[in-house]
Structure 1
Amino acid sequence: MNQDTALEMERIIRSQPYAGEFQELLLSFVAEKAKERGSWSDIVRCVHSLLEGSCPQIEGIAAAAELAVLASDIMDDLQDQDQSDKLWMQCPAAHALNGVVALMMCFTGGLGACGLPSADIAEAGRIISRSLQGQFLDIRNAAETPDEYLQLVQEKSGSVFQLMVHLGCAAAGAGGRQRELLLDLADCAGLIHQIQNDLRDITRLGQKNDVLLKRKTLPVLYLLSLSDEWDFRFFQQYYRGELDWEEFLQRTGDYEAFIEASGCQEYSLVVQGLCVDRAVELMEQVVAPPSKKEQLKEFMYGAFVRE
């Protein structure tokens, strides 16, 4: 993360009436987040620049966006009980949960201090609520079909990209067709990245992963639709609770053969490719200098474009 962004996040936290141990806890969470490569706030700045914005408070808005993402990351890790090396997973869960609420208050307070209109702050809240809806469905493992799962991902992951786009548009005072295109592009980006995560996780049996947690991701749903017919019933049996994890691991070779024979990875890549094609189509319709569109593409989906 850009060091200036981390410093601005710290400034926003210090501007709130947090003190002592609690303030230090929040600042430690920011320091932990700052170690990560990449930055969501880059999308906020990029959209603002692409739309020829000149908001003097863009850095404060970008930092506030990072605080919202940090709160979301902490909540996600607490729900999944993974990322044990993160500071928020090493403190009492009640402290981390209090931190999530505090960071979201910093987010809204930070936006207000930057002078964003109340309607734009309200819309940011609506987008976050959409993400929470998707997160809840994900926790419940509610998706039973690929279409349901893709809708869930748009709500959960696409909304994070949408929040960055919305804040960049709001800072630039932009709306209309340009904003609609960029929000649709954000949903595509969420799908592209989540499918990539799903593909990576489907083969990682040696550590905490989607299969261990019986998550119904895109490749898993595809496997579940086949296993009864393909004489790989052990996979369905595990998801129904008829096999425990240790019994499942004894069939690792069968599982790897199932993955290879099923075409689940190829299927997921096709779906991802369609999302990439849609993202390219949407980007072509955005009216902006090619160099700025190229920069936004790199932040959102550039690594997945087939040359």
Structure 2
Amino acid sequence: MARIIRSQPYDGEFQELLLSFVSEKAKERGSWSDIVRCVHTLYSGANPRIDTIAAAAELAVLASDIMDDLQDNDQTDKLWMQCPPAHALNAIVALMMCFTSELGRCGLPSEAIADAGRIISRSLQGQYRDIRNTAQTPDEYLQLVQEKSGSLFQLVVHLGSAAADAGGPQWNLLMDLADCTGMIHQIQNDLRDITRLGQKNDVLLKRRTLPVLYLLSLTEEWEFRHFQQYYRGEMDWEEFLQRTGDYGTFIDASGCLEYSMVVQGLCVDRAEELMVQMDVPPSRKEQLREIMYGAFVRE
């Protein structure tokens, strides 16, 4: 990732800013580049530039992460949230330019690069829906998640398959699997962010996530009336906490966590169905399964 950045006409303070963002990203668990390489291996790829393609994918995801944090105004401990927003915005564009130019340099077909662009555009559409925070039903929210989060998984599996020159029906299966994986992970984030108290609590921010939409649907349940009142702006956060009593007990009693886990389980089941349809060696299929959503499979 650092080599790609240094290959561009960025120097001095701006180059150091971009490199510091890469170092910050490296602290996180998980690796999108591992998925790129895994999919490449899945189809017996032998592209000598696969590691560079994987690194370029990481730069694109980093740009998306920075944009997401700027728009949500959270993750204040990240370096890109501690510099002037204008600098971070400039970095987003620079990282995306690194991504696109490196794909061309690696010799991927123009159609594969165009498909990558369309996938990123789809993610931006989902990001816009997320910013508007207007989802009214679980179906609307899941469409948003497919576009926003599913597209990031689509991007990395697409690049891995394109590097192996794989396409056709198998590519379509991969795209559907990526959407399922995006939903699985986003629902897990929703479960985490509704249960913890603090500045990233989704209820505090009045975000409309899957468990929140379930709670908002309980309009006939008297004990949950304060939740609807808070979202309508009829009381502030402190009054909401006071009226609901213990927040953790309130969330546990609502059933929103169980509901969200059921939906997540359905996504896992669909991912398993797609995995069965893939015409690849079982050992490689298991490796992909493990790296994408294995932690969520119930034995």
Report the TM range for the smaller structure's normalisation: over 0.9
CA contact 1:228–1:236 (8 Å) conserved in 2:
no
Select 1:142's aligned residue among 134, 144, 154.
134
Supply the AA of the counterpart residue of 1:61: I
C-alpha distance in structure 1 between counterparts of 2:100 and 2:262, whole Å: 39
1:262 counterpart = 2:254: yes
State the percentage of identical aligned residues.
82
The one of 23, 48, 52 equivalent to 2:44 is 52
1:227–1:235 Cα contact (<8 Å) kept: no
Alignment TM-score, normalising by the size of structure 2: 0.97
The answer to whether the 8 Å contact 1:71/1:99 transfers is yes
User: Structure 1's 135 and 256: CA in aligned 2 closer, same or farther, altered over 3 A?
Assistant: same
Q: Give distance in 1, aligned partners of 2:123 and 2:208.
A: 18
Q: Distance in 1 between matches of 2:208 and 2:47?
A: 42
Q: TM-score, normalised by structure 1?
A: 0.95
Deviates more, 1:114-123 or 1:230-239: 230-239
Q: What residue is the counterpart of 2:78 in the other structure?
A: 86
Structure 1: state its 5+ residue gaps.
Answer: 1-8
Q: Find the counterpart in structure 1 of residue 55 from structure 2.
A: 63
Q: Which moved more, 1:185-194 or 1:239-248?
A: 239-248
1:219 aligns with one of 211, 214, 221: 211
Distance apart, 1:159 and its partner CA: 0.3
Once residues 134 and 126 of structure 1 are traced to their aligned partners in structure 2, the CA distance between those partners, rounded to angstroms, is 13
1:141 is displaced (CA, Å) by 0.6
Task: Quote the Cα distance in structure 1 between the aligned partners of 2:243 and 2:152.
Answer: 37
1:152 aligns with 2:144: yes
Taking the aligned partners of 2:220 and 2:87, their CA distance within structure 1 comes to 45
Q: Quick check: 1:249 aligned with 2:241? A: yes
Greater Cα shift, 81-90 or 186-195? 81-90
Instruction: Give 1:287's aligned residue.
Output: 279
* d(CA) in 2 for partners of 1:303, 1:251: 37
Give the letter aligned to residue 18 of structure 1. Answer: Y
Aligned residues: 299
Q: Give per-residue Cα distances to partners, 1:225-261, cap 9 Å, x unaligned.
A: 1044333211111111111122223235264444233
Measured in 1, the distance between the counterparts of 2:273 and 2:41 equals 21
> Contact between 2:226 and 2:244, CA under 8 Å: does it hold in 1?
no
Whole-angstrom CA distance in 2 between matches of 1:74 and 1:164: 18
Q: 1:29 aligns with which of 5, 13, 21?
A: 21
Deviations 1:33-89 (A, max 9, x none): 112222101000000000111111101100000000000011111111111111111
CA contact under 8 A between 2:244 and 2:250: conserved in structure 1? no
- Rounded to whole Å, the distance in 2 between the matches of 1:253 and 1:91 is 38
* Contact kept? 2:215, 2:224, Cα under 8 Å: no
Q: Is residue 223 of structure 2 the alignment partner of residue 231 of structure 1?
A: yes
Q: What amino acid is aligned across from residue 287 of structure 1 in structure 2?
A: D
- Residue 10 of structure 1 aligns with which residue? 2
1:4 maps to none
- The aligned counterpart of 2:109 is 117
Mapped contact 1:128–1:160 kept (Cα < 8 A): yes
Asked if 1:240 is matched to 2:232, the reply is yes
Whether the 8 Å CA contact 1:88–1:96 is kept in 2: the answer is yes
Contact 2:190 2:209 in 1 (8 A): yes
Give structure 1 regions of 4+ aligned residues with deviation exceeding 4 angstroms. none
Measured in 1, the distance between the counterparts of 2:298 and 2:212 equals 25
Distance 1:208 1:270 in 2: 24
